[in-house]
Structure 1
Amino acid sequence: MLSMMFSLYLKMLVLYSPFFVLSCFIGLTRGYTVKERKRLAWKVALGTLVASVLLYLFGQSIFNVFGITIDAFRIGAGSVLFISALGMAQGKPAVQSDNVQQDVTIVPLTIPLTVGPGTIGAMLVMGAGHHHWNDKLTALAAIALASVTVGVVLYLSNRIERILGEQGLQIVSRLMGLFVCALAAQIIFAGVKNYLAP
């Protein structure tokens, strides 16, 4: 159970890409005080947790309502995640920081940066794939831990920015992009394999 939780926790961290979110967070909060940044970090973590838990718990219902098979959704979600990850790996800016006065907690920091289209698809697939409550509770604990980790990374944004610098943040973001590409490919392959299986 602990090994499953740790594995899911690592997958959630890759999906959330906290260092990619951190680079966007720093850009979007240039005019903020340290105290405001720290408060915003926990708001983003809470938003990420709520959005992820809702997607995870109601994934099966969405498949039932729309009549989509889980394997078809795996292929679609993996493709969207792969496209998003390519932009991340190439270092393309995700958002523009034109107006720092607006509240950036939910949009764009929580959705679509932390919980983007690919992450949404992966959460729906994960939720629909777990049928036993033991698995569900383990996954929810992993989601909670990953959300807290995102909050901690953003909370320490000033220190991390000083240590890594802008170049260091870009390097880490691109590495995260490569990991997300690999995870997306795995989701697509699983969908294709199950879809073609007799």
Structure 2
Amino acid sequence: MSVDLPFVTKVFAALFAIMNPIANVPVFLSLTEGASDAVRRRVAVTAAIGTTIGCLVSILGGQAVLDAFGLSVDDFRLAGGLIVLTIALSMLQGSSSPTHGRSPKEKEDAVEAESVAIYPLTIPLLVGPGTIATLIVFGQTARAQFKWLELAIGVGAFLALLSAALLSAPWLGRHLSATATAITRRLMGMILAAVAMEMIVASLRALFPGLSH
């Protein structure tokens, strides 16, 4: 059985653009400022596990959520596309989108580094509305076109990269310049904008068949 590599690449690129491990390394370092390497590793592992669970719930439980609210996948694809487009535009402008989570402020002394692993690192910085919407749409596509293997490969490859980036954040922080981070954020914004437009156009064609002609 052949693997649809373009679909794998699309899944990987979309998740990379939304959760952008490179751009989130400085966020991770800020949230865990003053913590030991051992604590940072525990935070990274917890965040990786939480992100994996969030992705699985979004993919496997997406249809149940849509059915509970009486929505179709095209309704959610349109809404998700608009959310993703908002994130992409904010990335192109070099800022964080409020729909994907705000950049964290300096942590208060009373807050321990371990407490930030789930909130705000996992939710909403990594598994935000844009991530959830994108994964629900990809899950529906995989179900309709029997592309579960491709979806698993794309998501699994990205989660492995994300975990590696979080675990190596202290080292990356010493070598990644602010300029490199800014360039990467804008490049990912362009890719994410293209993915968002595809979602929006596909949903509009399904909701308004006349547009296809």
Task: Report the CA distance shift for 1:164/1:38 in structure 2 as closer, same or farther (over 3 A).
Answer: same
Q: For 1:73 and 1:19, how far apart are their aligned partners in 2?
A: 28
Residue in 2 aligned with 1:97? 105
1:106-138 CA distances to partner (integer Å, 9 max, x unpaired)?
Answer: 111111111111111111122222226952243
Task: Report the CA distance shift for 1:96/1:175 in structure 2 as closer, same or farther (over 3 A).
Answer: same
Report the alpha carbon displacement of residue 140 of structure 1 after superposing the two structures with TM.
Answer: 2.5
5+ residue gaps in structure 1? none
SS at match of 1:46: helix
Residue in 2 aligned with 1:68? 71
**Between 163-172 and 52-61, the greater mean CA deviation after superposition:** 163-172
1:35-114 matched pairs, under 5 angstroms = 35-93=38-96, 94-99=102-107, 101-102=111-112, 103-114=115-126
- Taking structure 2 as the reference length, the TM-score comes to 0.82
Sequence identity percentage: 27
Report the alpha carbon displacement of residue 152 of structure 1 after superposing the two structures with TM.
Answer: 0.7
Report the alpha carbon displacement of residue 76 of structure 1 after superposing the two structures with TM.
Answer: 0.6
Contact 1:53-1:143 within 8 A present in 2 as well? no
Residue in 2 aligned with 1:123? 135
CA root-mean-square deviation: 2.2
1:93-117 CA distances to partner (integer Å, 9 max, x unpaired)?
Answer: 5323332534111111111111111
SS at match of 2:176: helix
Q: 2:161 aligns with which of 149, 168, 172?
A: 149
Q: 1:17 aligns with which of 6, 16, 20?
A: 20
- Taking structure 1 as the reference length, the TM-score comes to 0.87
Q: Which runs of 4+ in 1 moved over 4 A?
A: none
Q: For 1:23 and 1:178, how far apart are their aligned partners in 2?
A: 21
User: What is the letter of the counterpart of residue 40 of structure 2?
Assistant: R
1:168-187 matched pairs, under 5 angstroms = 168-187=180-199
